[in-house]
Structure 1
Amino acid sequence: MRTTHSTPRTLVRTVVAATGAVAVGLGLSACGGADEATPGVSEDTVTVGTHQPLTGPAAAGYSSISAATSAYFDYVNANGGVHGRTIEYLVKDDGYNPANTQTVVRELVQQDDVFAVLNGLGTPTHSSVLDFLNQNEVPDLFVSSGSTAWNDPESYPYTFGFNADYLVEGSALAQYASDEHPGEKVCMLGQDDDYGETLRAGAEIVLGADGLGAYETYETSNQDVTAQIGALQAAGCEVVMLATVNGFSALAVGTAAQMGFMPTWMASSAGGDYPTLVGFLGEDVAPQLLQGFVSVNYLPFSPDSEWVELFRQINEEYNDGASFDGNTVFGMGVGYAFTEALAKAGEDPTREALVEVLESGELVGNGIVPLTYSAENHAGYDAAGITLVDGGVQDFVGSTYRLEGETVTAVEPEQVALEGDGIPVE
């Protein structure tokens, strides 16, 4: 496994392209003709790829995700792979820039011949390649973003989300605020894009269209949120929901503390990972500033979880003992879900078989509730649990909320059990 921008196969493909102008002129798609072998599948390997922000504005919060996924695949490969094949994971840096995303994804499909694209990260970045991947019938699995755009089977039959979407997370946070902080003024700081607007829409399902006491937005290009925090303070906000990435969650909390503003903070999963926030704020002040910090999640983050124990072991052995945080659990959870799908796709997997497995509803993942895929539903998790930071430990507090239509209900978690040493078999 490797992080790569080019491979020896790139040169081979360049030569083939130069000598195959007639075939190109006939308009053959990237996924090949009916008589060709399945792209990315050989006798002993299955090759998948991804675009990730290894550099650029999102790197500090998310660059470790793909390393965790790679570590999980190394663990699977060391234990025999899937149906005798090892998984090769090509990770390409797009710098969180949609133009770069288009370039590297075309390389993955047209030059590296990947079987599928797995966990491409970011709403603006991945949106730029949706049409390309679906037109070329490339399985586009487990997009790393809570946008609702990935759940559109009619327009994008090859694309599947993974995260609990921002409507689910926003409604869960708002319901928890209503249940645990009744009568308090709830406000929001949101990213000035689909992320912020969708989390806001989720919150308004519970609070009503005028239920937020104030709503402020920020731009990722501006590392100063003093004006926004000042406006929330002046509005008398007692609970502030954050539709922010981790760096801006820390920036908001730190700025508010400097201004003497100490509301109850409630963040989406994309901006609420305690170890990552500690890295931004510093170990000296973070435990105090983040005491009582609320977030949502749908994966097994409890310190005593058997999944967390396994992932820690994999992280130590196959990820050079990198820092263990929410990104680690997320990256390995994605790897587990793909391995589960690949195992169920059979001994000679095809792209069509992979999609059929997901739409069959057989895939369960390893979350606090099972995955919910079907032919009509390409979203991932439909419920989110509430986590709370207490004494420097982030753990679930027992409240889990499911969104069905515009109805939010409290449900019991259904944590998927760890079986087979964490390697799915069929």
Structure 2
Amino acid sequence: MLARRNLLIAAVTTGAVAFSTGSALAQKKYDSGASDTEIKIGNIMPYSGPASAYGVIGKTEAAYFNKINAEGGINGRKINFITYDDGYSPPKAVEQARKLVESDEVLVVFNPLGTPSNTAIEKYMNSKKVPQLFVATGATKWNEPKEFPWTMGWQPSYQSEARIYAKYLLKEKPNAKIGVFYQNDDFGKDYLKGLKDGLGDKATSMIIAEEGYETSEPSIDNHIVKLKASGPDVFISITTPKFAAQAIKKLAEMNWTPLHIVSNVSSSVGGVIKPAGFENAQGILSANYAKDASDAQWDNDPGMKKFVEFLAKYAPDANKLDGSVVYGYGAAQTMVKVLQMCGDDLTRENVMKQAASLKNFAPDMLLPGITINTSATDFAPIKQLQMERFKGEKWELFGEIISSELSN
């Protein structure tokens, strides 16, 4: 089936909210995309192309906003969620961002996905003074409020995560010979920088091989073969889901069993591990900040119960084991929280002000002890992770929650 170039998910708004007094109207402030009855939110996702596994994030967010609308909306206003496909292509992302801002006239562009795509639209969004809010990428550069005051991240930065892996290896395997398999773009290079920074003076001696791949490649087998030949006993996979699954399968096929670390963005049980084969993923390490819906320890957790109930009612076809579904749910909850904080001042400036004023906010699916905090000088909402190891058919958390300050 051909992927549709544009996917439009718009919440159906029924009825109107009438305000009878002039004084009530006078207290309200609106920019494009907001009114007495509606809040228009734009989004860009790779529903097609090499990163299409992430498309479920946009679908989950649409379902969550439908839930909010069914419950009366935000301060009486319904969310109109408009999400387009960019195929993980930066030029297409620019085209879609312009359409959302200039044609659809959205209030914010929320959770657009991918480091390359967000890099391509960042200057445009800031020049137009339209929030590029809670971007779905952990690049460190989204925490630059002075240079780009209209762009903010959401998840832990890639460099922070990679420094945690470096810290683990320095402690547990100080003589490791590391082979790094990475996506050859800003996403992969950001992780790689964090890893090297974390290893410090030992980076040059511990990292014995680096192999980059392009997202346009149909297979990455030759890269894995080349890495194995260099002799590493640690394999670090800095990849998007499709390629992470391919790498897990290839290592098993070759009977190559180094200590295997996968980046958080590709640690989904449903989206990566299961397709790659549970038997091929035993002992793989990663780090996480969110609860795993496959883990029985959360069965009686209030947040998990809300998540499962939401899926049953509003996204019955969604796979609760897919980490991207969990991600979309958490990001959407954060967006709703910010809009609630805005009250009747739905200007773009106030949206950014409230987004930079989150204090100990805990979406349902964050691990206990991990909360969202921002300020006018800190645009990195989540800064904590916990190591995890894959065993059986699920991830097992171990060690303490690690907080990692962002690098400049």
Partner of 1:49: 42
2:170 to 156, 173, 178: 178
Q: Distance in 1 between matches of 2:401 and 2:269?
A: 19
Partner of 1:237: 232
1:233-382 alignment to 2 at 5 Å? 233-281=228-276, 286-301=277-292, 303=295, 304=298, 305-324=301-320, 325-362=322-359, 364-366=361-363, 367-368=366-367, 369-382=370-383
Q: Distance in 2 between matches of 1:50 and 1:406?
A: 28
Q: Structure 1's 395 and 317: CA in aligned 2 closer, same or farther, altered over 3 A? A: farther
Secondary structure of the equivalent of 1:91? strand
- Larger mean CA deviation between 35-44 and 163-172 belongs to 35-44
1:79 aligns with 2:74: no
Secondary structure of the equivalent of 1:43? coil
Q: Structure 1's 345 and 292: CA in aligned 2 closer, same or farther, altered over 3 A? A: same
Partner of 2:108: 116
2:189 to 197, 200, 205: 197
Q: Distance in 1 between matches of 2:328 and 2:406?
A: 29
- Whether the 8 Å CA contact 1:205–1:406 is kept in 2: the answer is no
Runs of 4+ aligned residues of structure 1 deviating over 4 Å after TM superposition are: none
Structure 1 unaligned spans of 5+: 8-34, 408-426
1:40 aligns with 2:33: yes
1:80-110 CA-to-partner distances (Å, cap 9, x unmatched) read: 2211112221111111111211111111111
Q: Distance in 1 between matches of 2:226 and 2:7?
A: 43
Q: Distance in 2 between matches of 1:85 and 1:288?
A: 48
Q: Partner amino acid for 1:138?
A: V
Partner of 1:4: 8
- Whether the 8 Å CA contact 1:296–1:384 is kept in 2: the answer is yes
Q: Partner amino acid for 2:308?
A: R
Q: Partner amino acid for 2:48?
A: T
TM-score normalised by L of structure 1: 0.82
2:97 to 95, 102, 105: 105
TM-score normalised by L of structure 2: 0.86
Percent identity of paired positions between Structure 1 and Structure 2:
29
- Whether the 8 Å CA contact 2:116–2:187 is kept in 1: the answer is no
1:125-169 CA-to-partner distances (Å, cap 9, x unmatched) read: 121111111111111101111112212212211110112111011
Q: Displacement of 1:261 after TM fit?
A: 0.7
Q: Distance in 2 between matches of 1:185 and 1:236?
A: 8
Q: Distance in 1 between matches of 2:219 and 2:7?
A: 33
1:95 aligns with 2:92: no
Q: Displacement of 1:349 after TM fit?
A: 2.2
Q: Partner amino acid for 2:270?
A: P
Q: Displacement of 1:36 after TM fit?
A: 8.6
Count of paired positions: 375
Q: Displacement of 1:49 after TM fit?
A: 0.7
Q: Distance in 1 between matches of 2:360 and 2:354?
A: 7
Q: Distance in 2 between matches of 1:198 and 1:128?
A: 16
Q: Distance in 1 between matches of 2:136 and 2:228?
A: 32
- Whether the 8 Å CA contact 1:161–1:379 is kept in 2: the answer is yes
Structure 2 unaligned spans of 5+: 1-5, 12-27
Secondary structure of the equivalent of 1:251? helix
- Whether the 8 Å CA contact 2:108–2:131 is kept in 1: the answer is yes
1:349-395 CA-to-partner distances (Å, cap 9, x unmatched) read: 22121111122343624233222321112123122222221111124
Q: Partner amino acid for 1:404?
A: E
Q: Distance in 2 between matches of 1:201 and 1:97?
A: 23
Q: Displacement of 1:223 after TM fit?
A: 2.7
Q: Structure 1's 356 and 85: CA in aligned 2 closer, same or farther, altered over 3 A? A: same
Partner of 1:151: 143
Q: Structure 1's 394 and 55: CA in aligned 2 closer, same or farther, altered over 3 A? A: same
Q: Partner amino acid for 1:312?
A: V
